[in-house]
Structure 1
């Protein structure tokens, strides 16, 4: 009987994108799982492989120096087309893989066991796999262990997704927002795709807390975050970076368009009455920085935007400042 979710590629890709994990740095929780697979199954290579539109990308890979491969040569691209384990005992004897460059050349794959990474809503977004360079059988006990560890990978992805949202505002946490910035940097380095960062904080926020109390301060933070969420494009990311400081990541956006967007956000915040007891108005100051090769890390890019934000505050607040192309940074 056909399984429609195994054939719905747009929905599968949407399920993968919800995790916002592609092109993020390595994480110990996933590396521990691939290390366990190598140790328990006695294989030289193990990977947490996520199957993107045209590539497989490794969230974790142990025993091989690679970050991704083309999807059309990926064993894991076959694994996601089924519900159960996929086992290849000798790739040179398997018509699907005997001419595969990963078999005929490095890393000389001969045997493979992969478990689909099935999301709670039933989509296979990748696999946890064990790879050997010699033909071999994987016994039922080993497959059962691999299945348990694959379930743990999905659990870690779910926990990671939940932990990436700030409880007060619903915005991305600082960690998650830096992950989005790292993805934008990877796209810039690989395909020269532009991106810009808006960094802002609420003006005189300490005065609001001191005058009205922290619950009212929380109402202001929540109200401004909700306003910015409504104003941003679907492709933009809003993050709470700490206290009253926020970031908005604008993909496919150059410096001039980012400055115009920052001005719209700035004016909208100043014009909005935030409901509460009592209702309040607040303003925010913005720093704008387009991504450039001169600041190729999230920390250096943030530092440049922070310099522009400082200039906006020094110049009187409730305004924007744009980082110069020749700006230096401290990171």
Structure 2
């Protein structure tokens, strides 16, 4: 047995420590799938014909897959990882038949699913943190098959080039300054691959990222081809700054101009997402990053990257709208109400205005469900929600808290001059009859109201006080309303409130 020198152990330990530190600094582990990385493994599988293609990152105790195709799991223990051998050697690893290789023949990934036979992996390297002199292997771009195979030289060259593309994608995360240089490097790699595979030309378009440069002396812009494509204009000379800003709506234009000015004044990089209209007048959402380019200690230009993120933005907006909208009634959800009322409370205090919250509970709603079915109950909820969106309430905010409970936030100063009359009108509007097969049930609403102000200065206190007023109103007479702090009951359709002593519970 060969004895390993303790000095060699120290070198290996330092190498692994630096490698793991670099991997951690990139923030790649356990991140969601990204279409740029997914596109690379799809191309690797499609163009080589192997069943599995992976971008694998080797962590301390596991290998985790940043991108995968043909495999269901997201990670495996490091002790079973073929990729760990390629990382340790910092070199290409080819295993024509794992069952005949002493290193892997008893490996659970060979003896069981996914039944690895062939493996080829190319190390993916990144620059060690705080230095440009050392590139460390983070993982591999690899292809796997369940049939023993001899590697094709053309396939290996393709994997090497695709591994370089993965490295370029990772490197763009480090800083906006290096993003331009790495984008050019990626473009050169793509052009090389395009001579062999036309499909690979789609990769940059799939990323939808371009680069730009703004010279400070004359405000002239230089754009990469993809930046022109995002703008919807032919490739040509850069536009002056004032013309380039014309693609942005006024608010977005101000954001971009302010960001550019701040970076030029302070040297701080910027990263903004704004609205954008291309040359065809089509709406887009774009992300722009930039920082200063220095020459002998003097700023000479702004450099950065430009990305069309419309699809992602639209998806996020759709998800946000769905989360903020009650599915049944199509008015605001409880979550949206919580956000809105907190902002409104701050604005109300800041503007010295009044605000009131109405907690609305439907009477006899359970009986509707029990006697006529949940479809009838659902219709009652939709009707009540629609009435809370009536024209005279257009400046109010209505939401469904859940079940048969609604809330109405009133900040319309004209309506608030006579809150009792509004409550009386609402009690009338929220009366509804349900009938079927000779049976009829009358649904009404009981309301508890609370003014914002004094000790009532947050959402929780507003809701608690309104709920207490609602409880008192229900205890005395369903289909009525009470305002927290006032000993009077409000009935439907009455101009004046009814003193409690005249109401028989």
Q: Structure 2 length normalisation: TM-score?
A: 0.40
Question: Could you list the per-position Cα deviations for residues 59-110 of structure 1 after superposition, in whole angstroms to 9, with x for gaps in the alignment?
Answer: xxxxxxxxxxxxxxxxx999544999x978x95xxxxx3xx7x976xxx355
Aligned to 1:247: 407
Alpha-carbon distance in structure 2 between the residues aligned to 1:219 and 1:178? 25
Aligned to 1:289: 450
* Alpha-carbon contact 2:271-2:288 (below 8 Å) kept: yes
1:172 paired to 2:322: no
1:40 paired to 2:191: no
Match of 1:170, SS state, is coil
Residue among 460, 463, 485 paired with 1:324? 485
Q: Structure 1 length normalisation: TM-score?
A: 0.58
Q: Kindly tell me: are residues 177 and 82 of structure 1, through their superposed partners in 2, closer, same or farther at Cα, counting changes over 3 Å?
A: closer
Aligned to 2:303: 138
Match of 1:294, SS state, is coil
* Alpha-carbon contact 1:114-1:129 (below 8 Å) kept: yes
Residue among 438, 460, 464 paired with 1:299? 460
1:178 deviation in Å?
1.9
Alpha-carbon distance in structure 1 between the residues aligned to 2:246 and 2:436? 52
**Larger RCO, structure (CA 8 Å, separation 6 or more):** 1
1:116 paired to 2:249: no
Aligned to 1:210: 370
Question: Could you list the per-position Cα deviations for residues 165-185 of structure 1 after superposition, in whole angstroms to 9, with x for gaps in the alignment?
Answer: 222212111111222212211
1:208 deviation in Å?
2.3
1:115 deviation in Å?
4.5
Residue among 402, 408, 423 paired with 1:262? 423
1:226 paired to 2:380: no
Alpha-carbon distance in structure 2 between the residues aligned to 1:315 and 1:210? 25
Match of 1:282, SS state, is strand
Q: Kindly tell me: are residues 191 and 131 of structure 1, through their superposed partners in 2, closer, same or farther at Cα, counting changes over 3 Å?
A: farther
Alpha-carbon distance in structure 2 between the residues aligned to 1:299 and 1:130? 40
Question: Could you list the per-position Cα deviations for residues 216-261 of structure 1 after superposition, in whole angstroms to 9, with x for gaps in the alignment?
Answer: 2212222222223225421112111100000111113476633321
Q: Kindly tell me: are residues 322 and 87 of structure 1, through their superposed partners in 2, closer, same or farther at Cα, counting changes over 3 Å?
A: closer
Q: Kindly tell me: are residues 214 and 151 of structure 1, through their superposed partners in 2, closer, same or farther at Cα, counting changes over 3 Å?
A: closer
1:123 deviation in Å?
6.2
Aligned to 1:183: 343
Q: Kindly tell me: are residues 83 and 204 of structure 1, through their superposed partners in 2, closer, same or farther at Cα, counting changes over 3 Å?
A: closer
Alpha-carbon distance in structure 2 between the residues aligned to 1:82 and 1:257? 38
Match of 1:303, SS state, is helix
* Alpha-carbon contact 1:287-1:306 (below 8 Å) kept: yes
CA RMSD of aligned residues (A): 4.0
* Alpha-carbon contact 2:357-2:449 (below 8 Å) kept: yes
1:280 deviation in Å?
4.1
Q: Which runs of 5+ in 2 are unaligned?
A: 1-171, 177-244, 294-298, 487-505
Match of 1:295, SS state, is coil
Residue among 448, 454, 474 paired with 1:313? 474
Q: Kindly tell me: are residues 236 and 276 of structure 1, through their superposed partners in 2, closer, same or farther at Cα, counting changes over 3 Å?
A: farther
* Alpha-carbon contact 1:79-1:115 (below 8 Å) kept: no
Match of 1:138, SS state, is strand
Q: Kindly tell me: are residues 83 and 229 of structure 1, through their superposed partners in 2, closer, same or farther at Cα, counting changes over 3 Å?
A: closer
Q: Kindly tell me: are residues 276 and 42 of structure 1, through their superposed partners in 2, closer, same or farther at Cα, counting changes over 3 Å?
A: farther
* Alpha-carbon contact 2:291-2:302 (below 8 Å) kept: no
Q: Kindly tell me: are residues 202 and 115 of structure 1, through their superposed partners in 2, closer, same or farther at Cα, counting changes over 3 Å?
A: closer
1:313 deviation in Å?
0.9
Q: Which moved more, 1:179-188 or 1:130-139?
A: 130-139
